[in-house]
Amino acid sequence: MALDSLYELLMEELKDMYHAENQLLSALPKMARAAGTAGLRKMFENHLLRTEDQVCRLEQVFAELGVAPRGKRCKPLEGMLESGSDLLKYGGKRSVIDAALVSMARRIAHYEIAAYSSLVGFAERLGEEQVAAVLRLSLEEDTAANDTLARLAEDEVNGMAVAAGVAEDTDS
């Protein structure tokens, strides 16, 4: 399919995000179960609720544009989730696994931030102010989620992962 207009690009990117958010609905409970710390587990559980809201918002956007909601395979997110799943298969110390989960979640958040930022810009340029406003809510949530992950990494997770490595080094 040729992209001959900004509207067509907007539609393609909306389909991509619709699939991405639906992929996250499946992945986030697994990530929560894999989390070793209560704070990280809670963060993933909260993100699941926000992702459900984001799927509903995307359905609202599709309705506003008069298009049936459907997704287009989101290969970038698929790849990130597969890579993260591979890391978890290695096993290891719980605190290091948590650091890996935070890293994966931050990559996902950055993808979402970039995608929603572009979608908001496209919608604004096309004069779709209501669509832009709805998408901006998801952008703000994903930006806040990334900030929360960064604080969680700095305040708790990464320090515990370092301590696990130091304890291992002194045990040798």
Q: The CATH number of the domain where 158 resides is what?
A: 1.20.1260.10
pLDDT for the residue 123: 98
Q: What is the tally of structural domains in the chain? A: 1
Calculate the CA dihedral of residues 151, 156, 161, 164 and round it to 10 degrees: 170
Instruction: Let me know: does 110 contact 56? Beta carbons within 8 Å.
Output: no
pLDDT per position as a tens digit, 56-100: 999 999 999 999 988 788 999 999 999 888 877 877 888 888 888
Question: Which residues make Cβ contacts (< 8 Å) with residue 83, sequence separation at least 6?
Answer: 104
Helices and strands of the chain, counted as H and E runs: 6, 0
Assigned domain for 153 exists: yes
What is the rounded average pLDDT for all residues in the chain? 89
Looking at the chain, the whole-number percentage of residues with pLDDT higher than 70 is 92
pLDDT per position as a tens digit, 120-145: 999 999 999 999 999 999 999 999 99
Domain residues for the domain of 102 are 6-164
Assigned domain for 37 exists: yes
Q: Is the pLDDT of residue 171 over 50?
A: no
Considering only residues 96 and 7, tell me which one the structure prediction assigns the higher pLDDT. Answer: 7
Assigned domain for 171 exists: no
